[in-house]
Structure 1
Amino acid sequence: MVAAVVAGVCLWPSGDGGELPTARAYRDVDACLLTDSRGVAPGVPAAPVWAGMQEASRATKVRVSFLSATGPDTRANVEPYVNSLVQEHCSVVVAVGATPGQAVRAVAPRQKHVRFVVVGDGPGSANVSVVREGGKPEVQDRIRGLLTSLTGTS
């Protein structure tokens, strides 16, 4: 009886006569954001980066996700988080903050098949792009554009 009720609710037609929503089809490309312990909450530096990544995902069908590093704010503590994203097959790893940026720069030379993006200051390299910090709309637009370019969907 319970199964019949659940099936009936799940299959009940929508009131607007429209079609039932379908799952979003993604390309086999993952872009991953690494933040400090504050994550992507409104008002933190990673918030406009995450918004830009979500916009790029809607436009390009690239999967996006984020991971917040916890524990001490040291490169040694954050490097395993970068390595975790590489092991999860992230095609692009975006890092926000000084320590995540340092960790990315330490890992990037050993992971030439991954594209990295550091939001902040400092030099880029063969597989590390740098997005300068700025106002929320500028950072959001820069990330959206760069992610679109790096994932081959420009």
Structure 2
Amino acid sequence: MSPPPKVVAADYSGRATACLASDTATAGASNEVQQVWSAMQHASAGKNVQQLIQPVSNADQALPYLGSLISQHCDLIVTIGPAFGQAVPTTAKAVPTARFTAVDSTLTSTPPGVTLLTGAQASDQVPQQIEALQRDTGTHS
């Protein structure tokens, strides 16, 4: 018996997509996730934005969720907090065409394809990144 066909997300809107990923502890500890999400929504004219908040506590747990955002063709993935932020280098290395912004990630060096921001910078710079997004016609594998 052959395996079931691979499930692939298809975005027929033609719009660029920005995705926010954070863990429940970070989202509950401050209003930073809500501030960045609100800023993303305000900057999203003509773009798709989505939010993913999951109960993860480390990079190993966050990796599959980042992979799901890649499979959903997110053109920009914004992570907030150390759990998702620490998973960014592995995902960025595996998918060099993906773009990431890691906010308060505790990363000490900047991997290729990643922008590191503090929470204070995020509400201003993330909307600018979203406004500059163009639909990536390539595919993330």
Interval of TM-score (by shorter of Structure 1 and Structure 2): 0.7 to 0.9
1: CA distance, partners of 2:73 / 2:130: 16
Task: Give distance in 1, aligned partners of 2:131 and 2:28.
Answer: 23
Identical pairs, percent: 25
How far 1:126 sits from its partner (Å)? 2.1
Instruction: Check the 8 A contact 2:26/2:81 in 1, yes or no.
Output: no
CA deviation map 1:98-154 (0-9, x unaligned)? 1110011221111111111101253323211112222xxx531221112223x149x
Match of 1:140 in 2: 123
What is the Cα-based RMSD across aligned positions, in Å?
A: 2.3
User: Quick check: 2:59–2:83 contact (8 Å CA) kept in 1?
Assistant: yes
Which of 35, 38, 42 aligns to 1:55? It is: 42
Aligned residue in 2 for 1:7: none
- Contact 2:26 / 2:80 at 8 angstroms: preserved in 1? no
1:36 alignment partner in structure 2: 23
Choose between structure 1 and 2 for higher RCO, CA contacts under 8 A separated by at least 6 residues: 2
- The amino acid of 1:47's aligned partner reads Q
1:96 aligned residue? 80
TM-score, reference length from structure 2: 0.75
1:131 and 2:111 correspond? no
Structure 2 unaligned blocks of 5 or more: 1-12, 136-141
Q: Pairwise mapping of residues 114-129 of structure 1 onto structure 2 (< 5 A)? A: 114-120=98-104, 121-122=106-107, 123-129=109-115
When structure 1 is superposed on structure 2, of 78-87 and 124-133 the one drifting more is: 124-133
- Identify unmatched segments of 5+ residues in structure 1: 1-25
Aligned residues: 121
| AA in 1 matched with 2:65 | Y
Secondary structure of the equivalent of 1:57?
A: coil
